[in-house]
Structure 1
Amino acid sequence: MPPISTDVRDEPHPPAAPRRSPGPATRAGRVRWGLRVRASRRLNPGDRDILWLYLSTRIGIWVTAYCARWLFPSDPATQDPGALLAPFQHWDWDHFQHIADQGYFPGQAGPWQSDWDNREAFFPGFPLVLRAVHLLVPDWGLAGLTISFVSGAVAVLALARITRHHLPDAEAGRRAVLFFLVSPCAVFLAVGYTEALFLALALPAWIAAQRHHWPLAMALTAAATAVRVSGLFLAAALAVHFLLTLRSTRNLRPLPWLALPALPLALFSWYLRAHTGDWMAWKHAQERGWFRSFHTPWEAWSNTWSNAFGHAQSTGYAFMFQAELVTMVVGVALLVVLARKRRWPETVYVALSLCALGTSFWYVSIPRAALLWWPLWIALAAWSLRSPRFKTLYLCTVAPLTTVFALSFLTGRWTG
């Protein structure tokens, strides 16, 4: 009897199967599997939950817009609901579309001095992106909605990441995004306005700064400044963050990058100066159209209070002025909380925003600006984790206001 071999090399091997080239189905399966693997590396289950929450709230706003067309038809006499996208095309959207389509001074027109056309007041970032997207999406209104839809998705993912950095609870990011997406002015994240695009640049800039990627952080901040002047507030906050990190890093090489966010404003001011002779034409247009001339904080509060509880009640706009007052109080409370926690970069960001909004003739657009105060949504998420009943109270209180604000804008009854 021959000895039993323990070496696998001595064992007989079955004949090798003939090699076959993968068929189309196999190749397609590998491609799909590869895409899923790459996607999974970028999006964890928490991110997918965030995107599902984001999509669900977008569906809610689109349904509200569709119903608004029938509840408040464009021609009440014939009950004509108007164009499908008409509810999204009000107020500032007209300015953005005109700038993207015609420029600031079409045919060497301007400078504009009317109360209804103050397009110099709007920074060029959003109109430039709108014009670029319009090359792919022929309808202007749909192009604006596309920008906000994509930008909003980026913003909520970034907000969740920032929240998870501050709060260890796995639910914290989802809570912050939920409170953000159902906040009273959340409709402006879904229409052709600047809030979603600004946050899609500002929040990743904040994340990059937290990781000390200063060139990327300041480049994103510069892009955010081209969209809204609030980018300068973000730049100041990041400068404070940079100074605070110097104690540990001792690295001054990124210092020149801190000046980059001022470049878009300088270029825009130079452009307006060439056409109007006024370096501050954008600021003067805001004063002319929205009474954003400087007043002391107590004068601004007094004037807003008079409109909230005085003669403006007969015009239907009193509720909007009341919302301005409430949001200002919320902003001041947030500022106090941030200062007590010694979160100085966020404190600077919110303080500059409140100073800019709280020193005009009256308060304008503060509820909309609150969307940009991401420390607020993080603070609310932290509060809800400590007090389980707060989430229910917030949703039950805010949801009706969110619907009212959405209908106000979608039917052209918004002010501010």
Structure 2
Amino acid sequence: MATSTPLRPPEQPAHPPVRGPSATGTPNGRMPSERRRPGRRGPVFGLFGARRSGFRLGHDDRNVLLLYVLTRVGVWTTAYCARWLFAEDRRAREAGTALSSWGQWDWWHYLHIAQEGYFPGGAGPGTQGWDNREAFFPGFPLVLRAVHVVIPDWSVAGLLISFVSGAVAVLALARIARLHVRDADSPLGQRAVLFFLLSPCAVCLAAGYTESLFLALALPAWLAARRGNWALAGILACLATGVRVSGLFLAAAIAAHFIAAADLREQWRSITWIALPALPALPALPAAVYTWYLHAHTGDWMAWSHAQERGWYRDFHTPWEAWQNTWKAAFTHTQSTGYAVMFQAELVTMVVGLVLLGVLLRRRKWPEAVYTALSLWALGTSYWYTSVPRATLLWWPMWVMLAAWSLRRPWVRSAYLCVVAPLSTVLALTFLTGRWAG
């Protein structure tokens, strides 16, 4: 590591640097200690710590990928057992196909969009049997359609997208975690990935859902922002917004980090990259284009929001009304037991999210607090809570802080694994057998 002044034996006098090739190997005579101006972080492919000579994975990265592959084997083993143990007909002599367990819930919306588009044959809101597919952003269906050109089977294409995206996401998560420690040998990155991959709703990372693809864009965007590469952070945040509306929350967090960490006098030009997805006065480009597209086909500027309301009761209610309605669904026997227990999980997860927000505010982690607060506001102001447990997969600050806590208090790791591992298996079976898993 270069120091502020090159080291020399005491008896040698200091000589002024000479222009041209030197013994240090620097052709322009610059000393190794000279640094770039603040904010200059090298080429785009340096996001994951690659050297100029190419992309390299370190020992910790390889361990993270091994952990990822092993947990994928565990998830697929669970899917195999689910097909044999929980067939629709208890007297069946043959199990379903290998991919049958993965065709659940939101997957069908993404598949139909990729195959038919949003308004096939002029159908749309008001058409009998309409599935409100415009509630889903186009990023994942577009990628699915592109991969289908190479992979003919739609289900395999969807699972492959999630598999590759998940690998990128865990690498980025581990690197984000390692930014919080000075020790290069710290297991913090691997621990954060372990907790993340064993989280209760981790099965959604393997399914043909948006979580993996979103995280494969969002986490590198945050990593780029932390390293001062604002251009790359802005581009990735825009792409993430095309996958999920949560990309807008990410863009707001990146903007908050830019204001808090950047030297505006040196980096004022970089704000143009962050303004595209983040400034309140200028909606993110993917969201704006999608809104325009829906209006062109429905005549409704709020078509996305209205689809959310029709299909998932996501019309605005105050936070206390949303809590009350979810509580009633969970404990007043108005829902079947399967739905009731998931509403109970929604309540517990909302409390976890509020605790996370409180910890972030106490530690003055303002950008992460902005992201978490916006996420909780969006999830907590509907008629009742929906998909809050799944949203925990997107709360990367929680996995980093939980991992750091477990390193200081070893009992945290044991407690987490003993409680969460069985719960993750139960929710995986719930999802793979076609029941609502949050």
What TM-score comes out, normalization by structure 2 length? 0.84
Q: Which residue matches 1:181? A: 197
Query: Where do residues 79-158 of structure 1 align in structure 2 (5 Å cutoff)?
Result: 79-111=93-125, 117-158=131-172
Alpha-carbon separation, structure 2, partners of 1:356 and 1:223: 20
Change (3 A) 1:41 1:265: closer
- The letter for the 2-side match of 1:130 is L
Check the 8 A contact 1:151/1:199 in 2, yes or no: yes
Q: Which residue matches 1:224? A: 240
1:248 CA displacement? 6.4
1:114 CA displacement? 5.9
Query: Where do residues 274-313 of structure 1 align in structure 2 (5 Å cutoff)?
Result: 274-312=296-334
- The letter for the 1-side match of 2:135 is A
Aligned pair 1:393/2:410, yes or no?
Answer: no
Change (3 A) 1:282 1:79: farther
Change (3 A) 1:225 1:345: same
1:106 CA displacement? 1.2
Change (3 A) 1:209 1:113: farther
| 1:154-196 superposed Cα distances (whole Å, 9 cap, x missing partner) | 0000000000001345110010000000000000000000000
Q: Secondary structure at the match of 1:402?
A: helix
What TM-score comes out, normalization by structure 1 length? 0.88
Alpha-carbon separation, structure 1, partners of 2:98 and 2:334: 32
Alpha-carbon separation, structure 1, partners of 2:117 and 2:264: 47
1:40 CA displacement? 9.4
Q: Which residue matches 1:67? A: 81
Check the 8 A contact 1:239/1:258 in 2, yes or no: yes
Structure whose CA Rg is larger:
1
Residue 67 (structure 2) aligned to one of 28, 53, 78: 53
- The letter for the 2-side match of 1:55 is V
Change (3 A) 1:270 1:389: same
Where structure 1 has 5 or more consecutive residues not aligned to the other structure, the ranges are: 1-36
Aligned length: 380
Alpha-carbon separation, structure 2, partners of 1:125 and 1:237: 21
Change (3 A) 1:114 1:362: farther
Residue 376 (structure 2) aligned to one of 325, 347, 354: 354
Change (3 A) 1:314 1:268: closer
Alpha-carbon separation, structure 2, partners of 1:272 and 1:411: 34
Aligned pair 1:378/2:400, yes or no?
Answer: yes
| 1:24-46 superposed Cα distances (whole Å, 9 cap, x missing partner) | xxxxxxxxxxxxx9999611110
1:75 CA displacement? 3.5
1:111 CA displacement? 2.9
Check the 8 A contact 2:427/2:437 in 1, yes or no: no
Q: Secondary structure at the match of 1:360?
A: coil
Change (3 A) 1:360 1:38: same
Aligned pair 1:237/2:253, yes or no?
Answer: yes
Tell me the C-alpha RMSD between the 2 structures.
Answer: 1.8
| 1:20-75 superposed Cα distances (whole Å, 9 cap, x missing partner) | xxxxxxxxxxxxxxxxx999961111000000000000000000001000111143
Aligned pair 1:162/2:184, yes or no?
Answer: no
Where structure 2 has 5 or more consecutive residues not aligned to the other structure, the ranges are: 1-50, 278-283
Q: Structure 1 residues 209-218 or 130-139, which shifts more?
A: 209-218
1:91 CA displacement? 0.4
Greater fraction of residues in helix: 1
Alpha-carbon separation, structure 1, partners of 2:345 and 2:129: 24
